[in-house]
Amino acid sequence: MIVQGAFNLLFRPGLRRDFRDNFQMYPVEYTKFLKTGTTKMPEQSASIITGMSRLVERDDGEPITYEDPKMGPKVMAVDKEFALGFILTRKTVEDDQYGKANQGSKWLAHAARMTYEYRAAGLLDDAFTGTDYKGIDGLSLCHAAHTLINSSTTVANTPAVQVEMSITGVTACLDLFMQMKDENGDPIIMNPNKLIIGNNANDLHKALQIFGSDKEPFTADNQDNAIKKRFGNISPEISHYKTSSKSYFFQDDKYVDSHLLTRRAVDFDDTFDFDTDAAKYKTTTRFLIWFVDWRGWVGVNPS
């Protein structure tokens, strides 16, 4: 509870008007790498189904071979609820000389926004361990051996060697996109169109050079930049909220199956306590972050 003792400086004249109680935030970032939407369901569930891979050769008059489509396992997820509030006495508001004590809506709105950003960035930080988020194959978002429903083949969407942002690292990621397969182990077309990096100026400068230069960067040969010619439309997006500043991710957002679904939008409410002459302010929200299919992502986690 905020009482007079806690905010006693606000009851005396002479303080400057600039309290530095508000700073400009970055634009919304989680929408850059998660698909967003709403849900009215208490739980979400999904699966993947795949058809047959090849026809079977037969001799003249030989019966047709019949094969059933394959259904993957059921994946389920439940949203989480988040809430925060504060209490402010009437006397504190009445004696505040600067109108700063009663800013509950602004503070709570900021806290709600930060909750969305940090929780969404948590998917990126968890992408290589799978501690909190696992896909349909029971593995982390980025893994060296994703299993398939109808094939013994495994598929990697993280390089064998975790190389920092560089021509070598980017090339390894692009190679993995070229080796993507469906649930039958058959090749599929997948081309990255997004790059998500950490809050790392060095990686940003390297990414801009790799994808923005017409000539091959970091060399003196003056050769054409093959990466720019093929993937010149990629521009880096910075995640300022993920813990790792060195990890980076490529996406083909046509295939990305990672979501932030809002169950209850950010809601503000207040009430007044008759006995204590105190106002209570709160905000609540419910949302779910999950992924089902790992395709569309390639990630690198340098040490």
Q: How many other C-beta atoms can be found within 10 angstroms of the C-beta atom of residue 41?
A: 11
**Position 19 in a domain:** no
Task: Give the residue from 211, 229, 201, 204 showing the smallest Cα distance to 170.
Answer: 211
Which residue type occupies 29? E
Question: Residue 38 domain-assigned?
Answer: yes
Q: 168: domain range?
A: 34-49+72-300
Residue-wise pLDDT tens for the chain (303 aa)? 554 455 554 455 554 555 556 678 899 999 999 999 999 999 999 999 999 999 999 999 999 999 999 999 999 999 999 999 988 888 777 776 556 666 767 888 999 999 999 999 999 999 999 999 999 999 999 999 999 999 999 999 999 999 999 999 999 999 999 999 999 999 999 999 999 999 999 999 999 888 877 766 766 666 767 777 777 778 899 999 999 999 999 999 999 999 999 999 999 998 888 888 888 889 999 999 999 999 999 999 998
CATH no. for residue 258? Answer: 3.90.1690
Phi, psi dihedrals of residue 43, rounded to the nearest 5°: -150, 155
Specify if 99 maps to a domain.
yes
H-helix or E-strand spanning residue 286: strand 278-291
Give domain status of residue 180, yes or no: yes
- Give the CA distances from residue 284 to residues 18, 27, 202, in Å, rounded to whole numbers and listed in that order: 30, 22, 38
